[in-house]
Amino acid sequence: MSKIETKYHTELKSWPYKEASQIIKRQGGYSNFKIPEKKFILFETGYGPSGLPHIGTFGEVVRTSMVINAFKSMIDCPTKLITFSDDMDGLRKIPENVPNRDMLKNFLGKPLTSIPDPFEKYESFGHHNNAKLKSFLDDFNFEYSFVSSTDKYKSGDFDETLILILENYQKILEIILPTLRTERKATYSPFFPISEINGQVLQVKIDEYRPKECTIVYHDPANNKKTETVVTGGKCKLQWKVDWAMRWMALDVDYEMCGKDLAESVDLASKICRSINKKPPVNLIYEMFLDERGEKISKSVGNGISLEQWLRYAPPESLSLYMFQKPKSAKKLFFDVIPKTIDEYLNHLNSFSKLDNQKKFDSPIWHIHNGNPPLYKTEISFNSLINLVSICNSSSKKIIWGFVRSYDPDLKQETHPEFDNLIKYSLNYYNDFVLPYKKYLKVSENQKIIFEDIIQILEKEVRKDHSAEDIQTMLYEVGKKHKFENLKDFFKLVYQVLLGQEQGPRLGSFIKLYGVKETIDSIKKVLVK
């Protein structure tokens, strides 16, 4: 990626650059930028693999990668992205969207990497969900390093910081306890020992903290005996908020974003870092995704769109665009946002080359493609393709390609794989979300004259050199002639009759794509029914 000249830095408006600027400021600013002792800036994304990965999880990686790219375009300093899986977390409840749920009941409370895989594919439930995460990241071609909490705890990589936490446990209690209910305060501890009896992650009262011995003392409910255990080597796990702070310190994390639901955790983890003279990372708090009912998407409930589902209907670049747009605003994330998002991506891609340098840097395309967007362009919208499939009533790519080539002879299946994929996505989307809900309106006697006038316009006035906009203007005149107070009602009527739906593309654009003769033939067919 080429560097953006310093003179442009203050003019950059898109949020990834603003985040990158905060990291630069944290390290001393442009003039006094200090590369960390580890020789790179570390970006972290966190992942709780207690349920199946959902699209919001990966949105975090997409957005973080955009900040990394922005940072690298502004200053010379190596970077590294890690995806951290909290797979040593104890299983608190059984996810609703997994098989063998009865089997999992026997493993409640145990670390995810100690629980059999309910899908029976991997060595543990944690490994299964980690594999799902890595598979998607690989599909996106992210440059990342995967880090397992279990591996870090058991290898001793966290030991030094765990001892530091133990030595400062009183300071940590003073930060956390005021945020807890009275009953929780009585038993709260930063440390969750792993039971030597049944392997569960224990949320129990700690009777003694022994920093010199690097141990804690507690009663194990499995045998009701006083137990002393070291806090190192994977014998203990930290409570979530403290664990996050420990991770930041142990790994020397410089940047991490998270959802609004974790805002309090970010605040407390940052206070813990500062209380023991450590610097917390720069944070971005993003808003949550909502399902079709406006409720927060949950991994355990499975009420959102899966990654596989999005990629069945849309290219990955459209998902990147969705993640780029307004990260601090709550957004609906359901199937009906997909066509709009695809078309927004295509529009941004089509207009990118026309932008001056300054505006190119702030374009979503710049961030999606790391400053190197493809040359691919098309004037055919995704919504137009869906409606072309609809009126053709065909599941054949070959047939759809026939209409596309008539519209634009330069578009070919062999040389334009991106567009070929768009056709595939449109067929999938049509079959799953349009076809089941089609309700064609039968033309009444009073309405026949309207469609006869449309035919007359298309037969006698539309020429081959007329643009889609020209055709649209002619159709407006038909609507006005028949006294539609709101021309939207006119177009709605046409959509209902020809496409079996209340909304559709700009008719001018659709007719240009589908063909004038073909449109006339379709209208004549419905008039004789």
Beta strands (DSSP E) in 306-379 are: 331-332
pLDDT value of position 374: 87
Q: Identify the weakest region by mean pLDDT among 94-103, 104-113, 312-321, 343-352.
A: 94-103
Give the percent of the chain with pLDDT over 90: 74
Beta bridge pairs of residue 255? 43, 282
The dihedrals phi and psi of 45, each to the nearest 5 degrees, come to -120, 135
Interhelix angle for 55-74 vs 15-26, to 10°? 60
Q: Counting beta carbons within 10 angstroms of the beta carbon of residue 276, is it exposed (0 to 12), middle (13 to 18) or buried (19 or more)?
A: middle
Interhelix angle for 507-514 vs 397-407, to 10°? 100
The token pair at 222 is 């499995």
Architecture (CATH level 2) of domain 445-527: Orthogonal Bundle (1.10)
pLDDT value of position 349: 94
pLDDT at 299 over 70: no
pLDDT value of position 126: 93
User: Could you give the strand order of the β-sheet that contains 225-230, starting from the edge strand earlier in sequence?
Assistant: 206-210, 215-220, 225-230
What is the pTM assigned to this prediction? 0.88
Residue pair 376/359 in contact by the 8 Å Cβ criterion: no
- Furthest C-alpha separation in the chain: 94
Considering the chain, what is the average pLDDT of its residues?
Answer: 92
pLDDT value of position 302: 63
Name the helix (H) or strand (E) containing 415.
Answer: none
The dihedrals phi and psi of 304, each to the nearest 5 degrees, come to -115, -165
pLDDT digits (tens, 9 = 90+) for 208-220: 999 999 999 999 9
3-class SS of residue 331: strand
296 vs 334: CA distance, rounded Å: 12
The token pair at 408 is 């634009």
The dihedrals phi and psi of 80, each to the nearest 5 degrees, come to -145, 135
Buried b / exposed e across 415-435, counting CB within 10 Å, b at 16+?
Answer: ebeebbebbbbbbbbbeeebe
The dihedrals phi and psi of 208, each to the nearest 5 degrees, come to -145, 140
pLDDT digits (tens, 9 = 90+) for 462-504: 998 999 999 999 999 999 999 998 999 999 999 999 999 888 7
Read off the pLDDT of each residue in 147-163 and give the average, rounded to a whole number: 98
The token pair at 325 is 């747009």
Residue pair 368/342 in contact by the 8 Å Cβ criterion: no
Q: Identify the weakest region by mean pLDDT among 123-127, 194-198, 289-293.
A: 289-293
The token pair at 493 is 């009527």
Read off the pLDDT of each residue in 221-247 and give the average, rounded to a whole number: 97
pLDDT digits (tens, 9 = 90+) for 98-151: 899 999 999 999 999 999 999 999 999 999 989 988 887 887 788 999 999 999
pLDDT at 506 over 80: yes
pLDDT value of position 289: 85
HSE-up of residue 497 (Cα within 13 Å, Cβ side):
24
Closest CA to 288 of 309, 258, 268, 310: 258
Name the helix (H) or strand (E) containing 226.
Answer: strand 225-230
pLDDT digits (tens, 9 = 90+) for 173-187: 999 999 999 999 999
Read off the pLDDT of each residue in 355-368 and give the average, rounded to a whole number: 91
Name the helix (H) or strand (E) containing 42.
Answer: strand 41-47
3-class SS of residue 115: coil
Beta bridge pairs of residue 282? 255
pLDDT at 451 over 60: yes
Name the helix (H) or strand (E) containing 411.
Answer: none
pLDDT value of position 52: 59
25 vs 16: CA distance, rounded Å: 14
Name the helix (H) or strand (E) containing 179.
Answer: none
For the chain, the first-to-last Cα distance in angstroms comes to 60
The token pair at 155 is 């290898």
Residue pair 326/289 in contact by the 8 Å Cβ criterion: no
- How long a stretch of residues is the chain? 529
